[in-house]
Structures are given as C-alpha cells and as structure tokens.
Amino acid sequence: MKAIYIPQLLKASEKKQEIIVDEWISSLESLTPVRGSIQLRHGGTFLEVAAIAETIVTLTCDRCLKQYNHKLSINPSELIWLDKETEAEKDYPLEREVSLEELTESLPPTGYFEPETWLYEQLCLAMPLKQLCSKNCQRPQPLSQEQQEKNLIDGRWSILESLKGKLSTDN
C-alpha cells in the first residue's frame, strides 16, 4: 500500500480518498490476504480514517496450546490530528517495525499517512486478549503425582516379575 501524501487529499474530490485493500501485510502473519477498504477524509485540521477489513490469523490456544484459525474482522475509525508541531520524519522508511506504543495520533499536515502501518495496528488491536480455540476447550490433563508414582511402581514390579520368572525357570 502506497503512503498517502496528506496535502494531496485536499485536491481530491470532497477531499476524500478510498483505498481498496486486498493484500498481505508484511508484518502480519495471516492465512489470507487482508481484504477491505480504507476511507480517508481531510478535515482541515485532522484526517478522518475509517476502514472495513478482515483476514484470518492462526492463533495458539492459551488453554490447550493447539493452533486454531481466527477470523479478524475490524471496522475502526479514527481522527488523526494534523499538527504542525509533529516532527516530520525526513527519513521515513516505508517498512519499519511498529510497536503498539507508537500508535499515530497526530501527523504533520505536510506529511504522509501510511495506510499499511495504520491497518496493521488496527488488526493488532483487534487480536483477542484471551485466545481460546473453543468454549469447550479443555486444558490437557497432566498425570497426577499419584498416577506418576503408580506408573513408576508398576514399572518396577514388571521388572521384578520378569526377574522372578527368569529365576524360577533357572531353578
């Protein structure tokens, strides 16, 4: 997804632009491309961003540790302030690692809006905090201490038994 030069939006009809999304987002491990659209509107002192998007991600269940597929479906909207005070990053790399703490809340009015980064952040925010494969998922039952000891003793007994059998045949 191409970065949008913010002043360019002022020239667009109704100062709006729609970006159709049907692609893989490099930092997001998803099973399907991210599909949807992003709507941008230049509001003079702010940028109005809204999107509808969905994809399928593979998550690991917190309870049984199995992997399962989860449909991420988002419909976020946000106002990003266009603030002259926001430091324009001259060497703004198109692809960079973005942490969740770095959420964009304001941009320089003559800067760029990065739709891919923004969408990636929105998808990350929509990830379930508690990841469970199903409502009925059961935690795998570890062997109880008792069962472990019993198995150990049974093991020893069987060795003894076989020894005993060996001894009796030797006699």
CB of 136 to Zn ion, least distance (A): 9
Query: CB-wise, 9 or 72, nearer to Zn ion?
Result: 72
The overall longest dimension of the chain from CA atoms, in Å, is 104
CB of 67 to Zn ion, least distance (A): 9
The pairing of strands 77-82 and 106-107 is parallel
3-state secondary structure of 21: strand
Query: CB-wise, 50 or 56, nearer to Zn ion?
Result: 56
Which residues in this chain contact Zn ion in the complex, by CB under 5 A? Answer: 61, 63-64, 133, 137
Query: CB-wise, 42 or 70, nearer to Zn ion?
Result: 70
Query: CB-wise, 2 or 66, nearer to Zn ion?
Result: 66
CB of 64 to Zn ion, least distance (A): 3
CB of 70 to Zn ion, least distance (A): 12
